[in-house]
Structure 1
């Protein structure tokens, strides 16, 4: 095993340790004659450079961190796949971090990039701690599917307001007028955008918004169940429910059934995301599809561009969504009855 050090190589070659470092890390930056002397000394002394140390001097680890709200949420799996596929093709690897709505955790992962333990951070937390949001300079960070107004960061996003309008317009076209919105965590911009889309769809149809029909959630299954309990306890009448996540939609469906309400016969339900929850729901869930693998890939493309010295476009990247029609939405009962009468049915 070699006991040679970078100092002994420098002494043997008659150059400084900094020159040895450059010759090993960025040989194109060293004159050919000097580079040959260094490489001859390395061979003569059987010197094996520490790979981690070389990477540190290069200030490149070829590693990017994907930091998400909740690592147990299957929503993030396809995001990760999109990031990893693009990263792998470019010679990068991806680590996944779990923020858990904890400022200390977010600060920890940002600090990892500052200390050059990773090259960049793809952020999916919806917020930054004040200590970071107000910082004069941040390391390379891409925001995916969220919007953090306090920090001017490159973003890959969807139009949350337009997506929510697509969902609520569908329910209105079916004949629903008493439509619940089960929100995400407000006042976070992503959740606020979806609530604005809900209100805009109602306004366009001439439906006055009823504050009783807005119930606050947090994207999790339990808040979907709690939202329905809240509505039923207050005896609020409704024929449809738009949930700002599939997980909340599934929680709402389970709680509706627990109270004897049928889906979709008594209440139509639309979710948001098109996760595995939507596919395995009984009946399958009508929802807004986010193209998560595409979003992850575009976020990683932006990151690679920044790490290569390119400046991203100020407007960011907006990815389209789709309304996926499945079995949880039908016209409300009174529309069914009216149709049956006009058709001569019983």
Structure 2
């Protein structure tokens, strides 16, 4: 592999001159720059990113941690983040923590060793050590979706409780009164906030949740929704509608309802959360609470670059509002609607 010395020898200039051309640190004559650039192309020389970062104190690289790379919700946000980074001249290093606090800690150390310029984190649930880890890194950080008690970090997230309210109020407006909820993992803040929205909407309508027969938990996966829905349908007094904590669980819940001989929405109405691309192609297409994923991803990058450029020194919180996407998985209680009329 050619070195900077090889480039200097071929171009007939000093190593220092080659360095100034590569790093744009000092003006070089047009003739000298042309000779260096010709030598770089001829030799196929690739400057060392590590060496350049040591001189400029910047690697033009950002890191991102997500808890589940198989969840389309995170994949759709990552795509926006990567596009935004690329457009700003940055490379993105992505790490999947698989919701494991230990793996999250290891990846944070790895990213720090790579001298990244900033970090976007969707935290793993239940990691009490994360605030201390982030404080120890001393780098610009933006949190997405899941809040961490660290005032130095920026945060961009959806109003999860408001989303739970929207979903449940929609079902109430259709005449449903016995509305179950399949929440995500117990203790995970976004899941608990969505559940709280469900509780609040029922209480507002005069149907407060009594006992634990209407609340179930899953693992934010199709299997989690599938198992929870089967448990709900085995109960003595099954609901007429279910608010499901994310779209992946709703997909599993749809299958469970089908296996039990129920038609959605004629026999059972379902509302999901996230509005992943696949939700519009479910059978039936899924009514869901849409998170503004494109806005979340773009804001996360923009806020991080502001901090890297020194435009802001204190953290700020941006709370985005969700929207309800009404499709074919919900219908008026007790009044089956022909498929042609639901559109």
TM-score bracket, shorter-length normalisation:
0.7 to 0.9
Q: How does 1:3-14 map to 2 (within 5 A)?
A: 4=5
Does 2:85 match 1:87? yes
TM-aligned CA deviation for residue 140 of structure 1: 2.4
Q: Deviations over 1:177-220 (max 9, x none)?
A: 10011001121111111011111101111112132100011211
Do 1:61 and 1:119's aligned partners in 2 also have CA atoms closer than 8 Å?
yes
Identify the residue that residue 322 of structure 1 maps to in structure 2.
323
Q: How does 1:66-77 map to 2 (within 5 A)?
A: 66-77=64-75
- CA change 1:220–1:292 in 2 (3 A) is same
Do 2:162 and 2:321's aligned partners in 1 also have CA atoms closer than 8 Å?
no
Do 1:242 and 1:271's aligned partners in 2 also have CA atoms closer than 8 Å?
yes
Identify the residue that residue 177 of structure 2 maps to in structure 1.
177
- CA change 1:77–1:134 in 2 (3 A) is closer
Q: How does 1:1-346 map to 2 (within 5 A)?
A: 4=5, 27=25, 50-127=48-125, 129-135=127-133, 136-138=135-137, 139-149=139-149, 152-210=152-210, 211-311=212-312, 314-333=315-334, 336=335
Flag structure 1 segments of 5+ consecutive residues without an equivalent: 6-12, 340-346
- CA change 1:120–1:127 in 2 (3 A) is farther
TM-score, scaled to structure 1: 0.81
TM-aligned CA deviation for residue 118 of structure 1: 2.1
- CA change 1:51–1:287 in 2 (3 A) is closer
Flag structure 2 segments of 5+ consecutive residues without an equivalent: 7-13, 338-343
TM-aligned CA deviation for residue 23 of structure 1: 11
Alignment partner of 1:94: what SS? strand
Do 1:67 and 1:123's aligned partners in 2 also have CA atoms closer than 8 Å?
yes
Q: Which moves more between the two structures, 52-61 or 216-225? A: 52-61
Alignment partners' CA distance in 2, 1:131 and 1:304: 26
Q: Deviations over 1:263-286 (max 9, x none)?
A: 101110000011123111111000
Q: Deviations over 1:51-80 (max 9, x none)?
A: 421223323111112221111122123212
TM-aligned CA deviation for residue 4 of structure 1: 4.9
Alignment partners' CA distance in 2, 1:116 and 1:57: 15
- CA change 1:50–1:256 in 2 (3 A) is closer
Q: Deviations over 1:222-267 (max 9, x none)?
A: 0111111212333232000000101111111110110111110111
- CA change 1:237–1:127 in 2 (3 A) is closer
- CA change 1:92–1:169 in 2 (3 A) is same
Q: Deviations over 1:152-178 (max 9, x none)?
A: 521111111111101100000111110
Q: Which moves more between the two structures, 304-313 or 164-173? A: 304-313
Alignment partners' CA distance in 2, 1:242 and 1:330: 13
Alignment partner of 2:230: what SS? helix
Alignment partners' CA distance in 1, 2:121 and 2:102: 15
Alignment partners' CA distance in 1, 2:49 and 2:272: 48
Alignment partners' CA distance in 2, 1:286 and 1:153: 34
- CA change 1:70–1:212 in 2 (3 A) is same
